[in-house]
Amino acid sequence: MSVRVFLMLGLAVLFGSVAVVAGNIWLNRQAALHAGNAAAPQELPTFETIIVASEPLRFGTVLSKDVLQEVPWPSEALPEGAFPTVDGFLAEGQRVVLRPMDANEPVLAGKVTGAGDHAALSRVIEEGNRAVTVRVDDVAGVAGFVVPGDRVDVVLTRDNPEASRANDESLADVILQNARVLSIDQSADETQEEPIVVDAVTLEVNTAGAQKLALAASIGDLSLVLRRAGDIAQSAADTITVADLASGETSPDGATAIVWVSRQTERRMVRVPTTRRENAAAQETPEEAPAAIPLSEKTPAGGEPVVLSRNAADGSR
């Protein structure tokens, strides 16, 4: 055999041996790395105990060991205001439920009274607000379907002392929106589901709202309007008169204006719809003369009947 053949065989053996040694070293390092990771101690989550309700609790329930239990809870996720032990929770004095709780729900400081306190309605009023009671009946109280925790609007129906005709004698105004119901009669239980016809409803309002309700109750009748759950939006509300009941019409954008017009000793309120043209074609067409709204069937002495055109929303005659 030639020298070239022996040389090639020698090189092949040499490179093969190097590859085997290098592969063996790499495998040993990987095995050691995995063994080290497996042997390293893993940090386990730590737990603490908190107390939870062992059954559904309602407003006014006196808390005792029979309705409370301790459960483990991750230390890094403890809810604010939680209590660690039942004995420590009850050691300072009797506590009463302020907010309804379901079974296994954590008992938090904001849902119960302080030690030795009673379940007063004043403890569930938000800071800066007031509680005002409104007298209602089966109609004004939405047939008993208003329960604590609901949101309502308040409508005032009153007489118009400056009315000059029958259609202007009564007015209806929305004086409050999105008021929270604190209690119905003497019940503040937010878990109540069955409708109950009551005589009084207590609402949570700010100071100005309390003043409005007190004044409105003295000059007219109040009615509650139940809001859809989750609806807290404030919406524009116009004054409604008897004349609006017959028309059944509103302006396209819902905008109206109320104008008071006087002539000698006569004074009348007129609602004027304010409209805008909604297409270019209408804008190119010359606008017709606006129809006049008569303010009086009688002609005042010394002149023609006073009229107010529909485009005179600024109060001009």
Tens digit of pLDDT for each residue in 120-148?
A: 777 788 888 999 988 887 666 676 788 88
Region 239-250: mean pLDDT is 69
- What is the model's pLDDT at position 242? 77
pLDDT digits (tens, 9 = 90+) for 9-35: 777 888 888 888 888 888 888 888 877
pLDDT digits (tens, 9 = 90+) for 83-97: 999 999 988 888 888
Indicate the domain borders of the chain.
Answer: 47-119, 124-226, 249-309
Average pLDDT, the chain: 75
- What is the model's pLDDT at position 292? 41
- Say yes or no to pLDDT of 71 above 90: yes
Region 229-246: mean pLDDT is 80
Using CA atoms of 155, 157, 162, 166 in order, give the dihedral in degrees to the nearest 10: 130
d(C-alpha 144, C-alpha 200), whole Å: 11
Please choose, from the candidates 174, 171, 294, 165, the residue with its C-alpha nearest in 3D space to the C-alpha of residue 241.
Answer: 171
- What is the model's pLDDT at position 280? 40
Q: How confident is the model at residue 311 (pLDDT cuts 50, 70, 90)?
A: very low
- Say yes or no to pLDDT of 52 above 90: yes
Instruction: For the full predicted model, state whether its pTM sits above 0.75.
Output: no
pLDDT digits (tens, 9 = 90+) for 155-172: 998 887 776 555 567 888
Q: Which two tokens stand for residue 165?
A: 């005709």
Q: How confident is the model at residue 298 (pLDDT cuts 50, 70, 90)?
A: very low
- Per CATH, which fold does 47-119 belong to? Type Iii Antifreeze Protein Isoform Hplc 12 (3.90.1210)
- What is the model's pLDDT at position 265? 62
- The secondary structure of the chain as a DSSP string is --HHHHHHHHHHHHHHHHHHHHHHHHHHHHHHHHHHHHHSPPPPPPEEEEEEESS-B-TTPBP-GGGEEEEEEEGGGPPTTB-S-HHHHHHT---BBSS-B-TT-B-BGGGBPPTT----GGGGSPTT-EEEEEE--TTTTGGGT--TT-EEEEEEEEE-TT--SGGGSEEEEEEEEEEEEEEETTB--TT--S----SEEEEEE-HHHHHHHHHHHHHEEEEEEEPPTT---------EEHHHHHH----TT--EEEEEEEETTEEEEEEEE-----SHHHHHSPPPPPPEEES-SS--TTSPPPEEETT-TTS--
- What is the model's pLDDT at position 261? 60
